[in-house]
Chain A
Amino acid sequence: MKVLKKAKPTWPLEIYNVFETVNIQQVAFVPDAGHTTLIKACQANPKMQTISLTTEEEGVAMLAGAWLGGMRGALLMQSSGVGNCINMLGTIRECRFPLLCLVTMRGTWGEFNPWQLPMGQSTARVLEDVGVVVEAVNEPSNVAETVFACAQMAFQTNRAVAVLIGQRVVGFKDWSK
């Protein structure tokens, strides 16, 4: 079976366009392969501050600070990074900080690495438990509009919102070869 991934997906740059539309000016990330194109595009824009983190919870705190100073940001991570954020997400909830997180999923559909399963299978539940609104997207053509809708929810209602970008979108490695 072929790797179920289009050669050059368009959704990462569509997310970038949404970032420009909704005025995202701080982009914090711990890299995930699924976010490579988006990170590059953000780094190429001098008006976006792209900040590489040592752990994802740094980004949660940083974007709270951004909002205190009147700036909007987005946090990019892999699903395993969600586990690094929980206590800091409690602070987001207590203060009603807006937070837009884009999470590329591992440990779900088509995963080959068993170590990804424990966190990947509980990502949505754990986020919901700590008060984050969760929207999963599994169809590439729906990614951009979902990010746009979630940005509106986050910044207009002062809530943390996470878009879970599924492995049907990101693609998976074929382990049978």
Chain B
Amino acid sequence: MAKSKKSTLDRREVVKTILAQRQDALLVTGLGSSCYDAGTVDHPNTFYLWGGMGGAAMIGLGLALAQPKRRVLVITGDGEMLMGLGSLATIAVAKASNLTILVIDNELYSETGMQPTHTSQGVDLAGIAAASGFKHAKTLHSLSEVKDSMTTIYKTPGPVFLDIKVNANRYPLSIRLRDGTHIKNRFRESVLGAKAFD
């Protein structure tokens, strides 16, 4: 377990670059910074988590199984992913081919005071995903690697797991939309149309 060298990648640039290609993909965010990153490019097909730490990837699985024709992205933090490590095993076994999990890995719990997470000590999330049976699992360190991964993120049969090492930049809250019922209803209406309220 080698400690990783510090990344210079900016999280907001990463998320903006990826979501610019989203088309009809569905997105689940983890709580905290990932939620605010995605909030800079708000979309009704985004389900923002403001709590439920450890649950983002599994919400992604349920959604991916329910919407097999669409790509489902989960964008979450390293701390959030570490709280739901078992879900990587569950997702790999479920073989959700339309699911992509993207971890914005700053090696910190930035939301709660910049405490280091286990990834700062070399715990390798992509390695865990690969060992669990993810079809594709990799760690990315540069924007060019991110830009080269668009096919992997949106098209390659998965489950796909990318751990994207970013720097420690913190940003203020972006989106103010935080009522859970509203976020859910808006998402369902966008995806299901009138059937959302059957």
Contact = CB atoms under 8 A, between A and B. Distances in A.
Nearest to A65: B62
Interface string A77-90: 00000000001101
B171 to A, nearest CB: 24
Interface in A84-121: 87-88, 90-91, 94-97
Interface string B6-48: 0000000000000000000010100000000000000000010
A61 B59 contact: yes
Contacts, number: 120
Interface stretch (A2-10, A34-42, A45-53, A136-144): A45-53
B112 to A, nearest CB: 15
Q: Most chain-A Cβ atoms within 10 A of its Cβ — which of B52, B67, B90?
A: B52
B128 to A, nearest CB: 13
Interface string B90-110: 100110000000000000000
Contacts of A94: 50-51, 180-181
B52 A61 contact: yes
Contact of B180 (A60, A66, A95): A95
A73 to B, nearest CB: 7
Contacts of A52: 90, 93
A1 interface: no
B87 interface: yes
Please tell me the size bucket of the interface on B. 35 or more
Nearest to A53: B90
Given A52-B90, A54-B86, A68-B184, A73 B62 contact: yes
A68 B195 contact: no
Q: Which secondary structure dominates where chain B touches chain A?
A: helix
Given A94-B51, A94-B180, A70 B192 contact: yes
Contacts of B150: none
Given A90-B51, A94-B51, A68 B58 contact: no
Contacts of A124: none
Interface of A: 25-26, 49, 51-55, 57-71, 73, 87-88, 90-91, 94-97
Given A25-B66, A53-B86, A57-B55, 17 more contacts: A26-B66, A61-B54, A61-B84, A64-B62, A65-B63, A65-B66, A66-B65, A68-B59, A68-B62, A68-B63, A68-B188, A68-B191, A73-B62, A87-B51, A87-B52, A88-B54, A91-B52
